[in-house]
């Protein structure tokens, strides 16, 4: 059986639950819900994990509990334990270089300045898939510093848009282009 790993990036704890940086957690939560997966704490992996079978593939979902900038620790542990090739890993994360509502699936070798992605590259190398979920709705980057911006909560209107359109679109993209890919 093929094993694929889908990592949602975010920061643990209620303080960060509704922040832009936690969109990766939101997407893997939606995947777990759609495919009846339940998250459990896996201390040895430093994450919460859920699993389900999709056709002939075992899918492992993970939400690192190391905080964003140390995500590579958890990903490395999962990769080694399950013997998963980088090409079978998808990292879902926020992207301030994309406007809110945009999603982009790519197979990149660069972190493009995202510290969580860079941590993963530092621990497992390159050549894994990324689903970037746009989170920028600022009229200008001068409005709020990017570091502070990603730790801000979504507005009520943005939350509604996330749950009605953006997250379902991200889940559909993952199912179509990553889960069904052999």
Laid out side by side, the sheet with 47-54 consists of 40-42, 47-54, 57-64, 2-8, 89-99, 128-136, 103-108
CB 73 within 8 A of CB 46: yes
Q: How far is CA 32 from the centre of its chain?
A: 13
**pLDDT at position 180, please?**
85
List the chain pLDDT tens, one digit each, 182 residues: 899 999 999 999 999 999 999 999 999 999 999 999 999 999 999 999 999 999 999 999 999 999 999 999 999 999 999 999 999 999 999 999 899 999 999 987 788 889 999 999 999 999 999 999 999 877 777 778 888 889 999 999 999 999 999 999 999 999 999 998 76
Q: Which residues are catalytic?
A: 21
Predicted confidence at residue 182, as pLDDT, reads: 60
The domain segmentation of the chain, as residue ranges, is 2-179
Decide yes or no: CATH 1.20.1250.20 for domain 2-179. no
pTM for the complete prediction?
0.95
């Amino acid at each position: 059986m093929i094993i694929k790993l889908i990592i949602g990036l975010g920061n643990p704890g209620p303080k960060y639950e509704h922040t832009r940086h936690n969109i990766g957690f939101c997407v893997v939560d939606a995947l777990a819900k759609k495919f009846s997966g339940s998250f459990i704490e896996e201390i040895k992996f430093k994450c919460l994990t859920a699993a389900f079978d999709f056709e002939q593939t075992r899918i492992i979902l993970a939400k690192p509990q190391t905080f964003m900038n140390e995500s590579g620790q958890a990903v490395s542990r999962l990769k080694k334990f399950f013997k998963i090739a980088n090409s079978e890993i998808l990292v879902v994360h926020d992207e301030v270089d994309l406007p809110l509502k945009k999603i982009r699936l790519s197979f990149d070798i660069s972190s493009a300045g995202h510290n969580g992605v860079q941590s993963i590259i530092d621990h497992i190398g390159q050549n894994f898939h990324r689903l970037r979920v746009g989170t920028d709705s600022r009229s200008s980057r001068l409005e709020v510093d990017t570091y502070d911006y990603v730790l801000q909560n979504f507005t009520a209107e943005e939350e509604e848009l996330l749950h009605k359109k953006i997250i379902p679109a991200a889940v559909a993209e993952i199912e179509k282009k990553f889960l069904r890919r052999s």
